[in-house]
């Protein structure tokens, strides 16, 4: 099958949607399919061989953070060229509602379109304001996927229609097996707590965890917190303060291999997030690595952690409760061992080899009979005017 994937966010900036598109593309390639990705990027040479440069982006507030998006006539020209050259059986856009190349594909493409919705913001100002305007373009989508029930409810509320739930995936073996970080070993030299994410983004909840750590170090004087991710180091140092500074290590932005090694090393992984999480891939990665988890009780996290059976859930934003939960778990070696042993089995259902086949099944339900390929509207046709419903024009597939 010839598959075109569309990533709306800047490829060379780490993010959940970018990783999702990358991992899906590489899994589908490994299964023998022809896959091309259209994506913006800051640097064209940062793209893999299967990706096409869609241009650079501008920052737009979206889903509780700043998303780097791209939209406009120049982007529309690139979209048309990519569609016409690709001769795809199906195009799969991600996060199609905000102004981006994903929305442009919905406006321009003629043929089968599948969309994955990732957003889980309960009050999306963009969707509330623009939902009625973008809905006619999104009605061109033949198959809808949501990464969680929460994400499904958001798109149903704002855009109508329904979606099948297929969660984010993880290459489970890459996290289950491998080395630990040098000098850090689970169960050795005092308890170590891990945090990964953009630490200067308020919704990630790091200030809550730092406050909780003050409780932890009083009961476990040898405890330390390792923080990995991007952000303002000077601002982080201010938040940490003199009392916690000996107990906090900043690793900065780390590679995927080092992330896996970190998760295999820590005694507990903590996710104190406050809002805006549609799924929680990092929790699956931590489970696969055997890291016991303490996380806020966001809807998405609760589902991943099986209502508390696969990890400890704490009321979001409650630093005192988080501190108590961390202390109690660190003082309970049998519970730590139980959660560590349970993790890889809980993560197995989210392996990309399984999820990619579920996504392929969605593709198969929308692919047009007779081998017609996805193409683009005419250059002189305004891209925002959809054809009459049920009258999708297609072009014949070229010889292969």
Q: How is residue 79 written in tokens?
A: 């979209």
Identify the structural domains of the chain with CATH numbers, from first to last. 2-169+351-376 (3.40.50.2000), 172-349 (3.40.50.2000)
pLDDT given at position 219: 95
Q: 59, 13 in Cβ contact below 8 A?
A: no
Q: Burial, 136: exposed, middle or buried (Cβ in 10 Å; 0-12, 13-18, 19+)?
A: middle
Cα–Cα dist 288/345, whole Å: 8
pLDDT given at position 126: 55
Cα–Cα dist 81/379, whole Å: 10
DSSP 181: P
- Sign of the CA dihedral running 311, 316, 322, 325: negative
- Sign of the CA dihedral running 47, 52, 55, 58: negative
Q: Between vectors from CA 156 to CA 150 and to CA 158, what angle results, nearest 5°?
A: 105
Question: What does the buried/exposed string (b/e) look like for 348-366 if buried means 16 or more CB atoms within 10 Å of the residue's CB?
Answer: bebbbeebbeebbebbeeb
φ, ψ of residue 340 in degrees (nearest 5) = -65, -40
**How does DSSP assign 281-302, residue by residue?**
HHHHHHHHTT--EEEE--HHHH
Helix (H, G, I), strand (E, B) or coil at 93: strand
Q: Are strands 65-69 and 58-62 parallel, antiparallel or unpaired?
A: antiparallel
Alpha helices in the chain, H assignment, sequence order: 16-30, 73-86, 101-108, 125-138, 149-159, 172-176, 206-219, 233-244, 256-265, 281-288, 299-304, 319-330, 333-347, 352-366
Pick from 49, 82, 83, 2: which is nearest to 400 by CA? Answer: 2
Q: Residue 227: enclosing H or E segment and its boundaries?
A: strand 224-228
For 69: left if phi > 0, alpha if psi spans -120 to 50, otherwise beta; the answer is: beta
pLDDT given at position 369: 75
Cα–Cα dist 141/374, whole Å: 12
pLDDT given at position 390: 37
pLDDT given at position 254: 93
Pick from 400, 398, 387, 399: which is nearest to 111 by CA? Answer: 387
pLDDT given at position 248: 96
pLDDT given at position 128: 57
pLDDT digits (tens, 9 = 90+) for 75-94: 889 999 999 999 999 999 99
**How does DSSP assign 112-156, residue by residue?**
-EEEEE----SS-HHHHHHHHHHHHHHTT-SEEEESSHHHHHHHH
Taking only Cα atoms into account, the Rg of the chain, rounded to an integer number of angstroms, comes to: 22
pLDDT given at position 282: 94
The CA distances from residue 183 to 180, 205, 290, 324, 340, in Å, are 8, 27, 18, 27, 20
Cα–Cα dist 105/84, whole Å: 12
pLDDT digits (tens, 9 = 90+) for 111-131: 999 999 987 654 455 555 555
pLDDT beneath 70: ranges in the chain: 58-72, 120-132, 158, 371, 379-400
According to DSSP, the residues that pair with 194 across neighbouring strands are 226, 269
Pick from 399, 400, 394: which is nearest to 91 by CA? Answer: 394
Helix (H, G, I), strand (E, B) or coil at 186: coil
Cα–Cα dist 244/332, whole Å: 23
pLDDT digits (tens, 9 = 90+) for 225-259: 999 998 888 888 888 999 999 999 999 999 999 99
């Amino acid at each position: 099958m010839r598959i075109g994937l569309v990533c709306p966010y800047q490829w060379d900036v780490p993010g959940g949607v970018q990783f999702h598109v990358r991992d899906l593309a590489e899994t589908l390639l490994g299964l023998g399919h022809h896959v091309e990705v259209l994506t913006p990027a800051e640097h064209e040479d940062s793209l893999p061989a299967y990706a096409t440069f869609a241009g650079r982006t501008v920052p737009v507030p979206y889903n509780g953070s700043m998303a780097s998006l791209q939209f406009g006539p120049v982007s529309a020209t690139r979209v048309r060229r990519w569609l016409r050259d690709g001769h795809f059986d199906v195009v799969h856009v991600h996060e199609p509602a905000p102004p981006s190349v994903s929305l442009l594909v919905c406006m321009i493409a003629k043929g089968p379109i599948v969309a994955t919705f990732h957003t889980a913001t309960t009050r999306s100002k963009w969707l509330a304001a623009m939902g009625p305007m973008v809905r006619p373009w999104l009605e061109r989508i033949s198959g809808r996927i949501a990464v969680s029930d929460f994400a499904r409810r958001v798109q149903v509320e704002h855009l109508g229609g329904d979606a099948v739930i297929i969660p984010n995936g993880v290459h489970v073996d890459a996290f289950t097996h491998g080395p630990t970080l040098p000098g850090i070993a689970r169960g050795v030299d005092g308890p170590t707590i891990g945090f990964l994410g953009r630490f200067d983004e308020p919704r990630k909840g790091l200030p809550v965890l730092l406050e909780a750590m003050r409780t932890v170090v009083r009961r476990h004087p040898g405890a330390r917190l390792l923080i990995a991710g991007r952000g303002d180091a000077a601002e982080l140092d201010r938040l940490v303060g003199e009392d916690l500074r000996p107990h906090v290590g900043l690793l900065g932005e780390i590679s995927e291999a080092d992330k896996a090694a970190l998760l295999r090393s820590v005694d507990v992984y903590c996710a104190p997030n406050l809002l805006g999480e549609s799924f929680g891939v990092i929790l699956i990665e931590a489970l696969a690595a055997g890291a016991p988890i303490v996380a806020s009780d966001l809807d998405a996290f609760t589902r991943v952690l099986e209502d508390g059976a696969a990890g400890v859930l704490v009321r979001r934003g409650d630093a005192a409760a988080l501190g108590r939960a961390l202390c109690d778990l660190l003082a309970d070696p049998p519970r730590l061992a139980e959660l560590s042993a349970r993790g890889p089995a809980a993560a197995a259902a989210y392996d990309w080899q399984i999820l990619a086949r579920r996504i392929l099944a969605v593709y198969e339900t929308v692919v047009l009979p007779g081998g017609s390929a996805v193409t683009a509207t005419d250059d002189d046709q305004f891209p925002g005017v959809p054809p009459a419903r049920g009258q999708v024009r297609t072009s014949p597939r070229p010889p292969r």
